[in-house]
Chains A and B, each alone.
Chain A
Amino acid sequence: MQIRRRWFLAAGVAVLTMACESPQPSEPAGAEFDALTASRGWGPGGADGDLPNRPEARIIRGIDLAPVPLDVTGKNPALVGLGSYLVQIHACSGCHTEPNFASGGNPFLGQPEQTNIEGYMAGGRPFGPFLSRNLTPTADGLPAGRTLAEFMLVMRTGVDLAGAKPLLQVMPWPYTSHMTDRELRAIYEYLRAIPCRVRSGESPDRCLD
């Protein structure tokens, strides 16, 4: 029963994604999302075993993997799930979360992994003269304060909309530039859904309405 329900939900989400997805997804689809998150006890690897070779497996796995609570109000939950999966497998938090792991939760030291939730995607990792950016949503709900169009432009061209240099010099945009529109939109949708974070040195107003 559990597995059948999961399949039905997966099929529903996938079909809804294909049928309803629009460049500016706005339809609130909280019910499907609630049902999916209610199933978070599936455990790691479940998607591999039970949903092989199906695009919706990435969506469901993504919802399973998200280390922070997600606000899906007014967002497309299938895109949020896919975005979560992509942000994880692209190791975005490897550079954009500093430090990567909570104290005692560093897998490179053989410890059981625990993501640094407090600093998740808030940037602040130094690379010589460069510093990874805070990608969490600002008070207006825009990830890193960027619109979808701006985000797509940065991911495709590396243009630094905020800095003195014309091009981002550490962000691997020459590689993200090859990603499909759908995947980039999904990453944006996920970054809209994660909690705002203020890094040390940033204005606490960042997250205030």
Chain B
Amino acid sequence: MRTKHRSSRLTVTLSIVGASVALVVAAILPRGSVGQAPGSDPNQSLVARGFEVAPVPLDLNGKNPALVGLGSYLVNTLHCSDCHTQPQFAPGGNPFLGQPERINAENYLAGGRPFGPFTSRNITPRGNGLPAGYTRDEFIHVMRTGEDLKNRHPQLSPLLQVMPWPWYKDLSDRELRAIYEYLSAIPSAQRAQ
């Protein structure tokens, strides 16, 4: 027990020493000389990259821009629109066919892709501004538990059966809030007829 305690103190000491040395080294070395790829600063680059990759105009009015940017990065790299945009790409813009990518901006995240008896939902803001009509707490609840708050297929299951919520549930609160903030900022859209 005593040894364990001592070893944990040793770990703390080593961590502090290691962190201090690394801090000094990091401070002395000029930026970019430590093997970092361009844009690899963990916090800032994701937000900036998020604004770069958003395929639709964003309404930042009354929203937290840093969260919107992070949310865009997450939504557009976690391939949400793979299922929630139907069709995914504009005519002539399908990268799977070797064409230069153009997302179907008109129906972006408006859902409508069939999966057997299930259909992906429209997760764009409704008239009240809420994505898919959900408050932030409801959205986070759905992402963490898979509970179908709209109960669209009670005869099959109370849980969403296609949405990969068993994985998305492990996103941090901040990341889920960011996704919600981004979904609040995208244009309301209808499904393609």
Task: Name B65-116 residues within 8 Å CB distance of A.
Answer: 73, 76-79, 81-82, 95-98, 101
Per-position contact with B for A18-55: 1 when CB-CB < 8 Å, else 0?
11111100000001100100000000100110001101
Task: Name B131-177 residues within 8 Å CB distance of A.
Answer: 146, 157, 159, 161, 164-168, 170-175
Chain B residues closer than 8 Å to A48, beta-carbon distance: 172-174
Task: With CB as the reference atom, state the residue of chain B lying closest to A184.
Answer: B37
Per-position contact with B for A138-179: 1 when CB-CB < 8 Å, else 0?
000000000000000000001000000011010011111011
Task: Verify A174–B26 contact, CB threshold 8 A.
Answer: no
Q: How far is the CA of A115 from the CA of B73 in the complex (A)?
A: 27
Task: Verify A15–B42 contact, CB threshold 8 A.
Answer: no
Task: Verify A178–B37 contact, CB threshold 8 A.
Answer: no
Query: Is B45 located at the chain interface by the 8 A CB criterion?
Result: yes
Task: With CB as the reference atom, state the residue of chain A lying closest to B78.
Answer: A90
Known contacts A9-B11, A89-B171, A180-B45; A21/B78 CB under 8 A = no
- A-side interface mostly: helix
Chain B residues closer than 8 Å to A181, beta-carbon distance: 37-40
Our pick among B16, B39, B168 for the contact of A89 (Cβ within 8 Å) is: B168
- B-side interface mostly: helix
Task: Verify B36–A18 contact, CB threshold 8 A.
Answer: yes
Task: Verify A174–B40 contact, CB threshold 8 A.
Answer: no
Q: How far is the CA of A23 from the CA of B172 in the complex (A)?
A: 27
Chain A residues closer than 8 Å to B95, beta-carbon distance: 158, 167, 173-174
Q: How far is the CA of A151 from the CA of B60 in the complex (A)?
A: 36
Task: Verify A8–B79 contact, CB threshold 8 A.
Answer: no
Task: Verify A178–B77 contact, CB threshold 8 A.
Answer: yes
Known contacts A52-B174, A91-B167, A94-B167; A11/B36 CB under 8 A = no
Query: How big is the A interface, by class?
Result: 35 or more
Task: Verify A175–B166 contact, CB threshold 8 A.
Answer: no
Query: Is A12 located at the chain interface by the 8 A CB criterion?
Result: yes
Query: Is B1 located at the chain interface by the 8 A CB criterion?
Result: no
Task: With CB as the reference atom, state the residue of chain A lying closest to B14.
Answer: A31
Q: How far is the CA of A169 from the CA of B161 in the complex (A)?
A: 23
Query: Is A88 located at the chain interface by the 8 A CB criterion?
Result: yes
Chain A residues closer than 8 Å to B81, beta-carbon distance: 175
**Chain B residues proximal to chain A, CB less than 8 Å:** 8, 11-12, 14-16, 18-19, 22-23, 25-26, 29, 34-40, 42-43, 45-46, 49, 53, 73, 76-79, 81-82, 95-98, 101, 146, 157, 159, 161, 164-168, 170-175
14 contacts between A and B (CB under 8 A): A31-B11, A32-B18, A44-B170, A55-B42, A90-B77, A107-B165, A108-B157, A108-B166, A178-B53, A178-B77, A180-B37, A180-B45, A183-B77, A185-B37
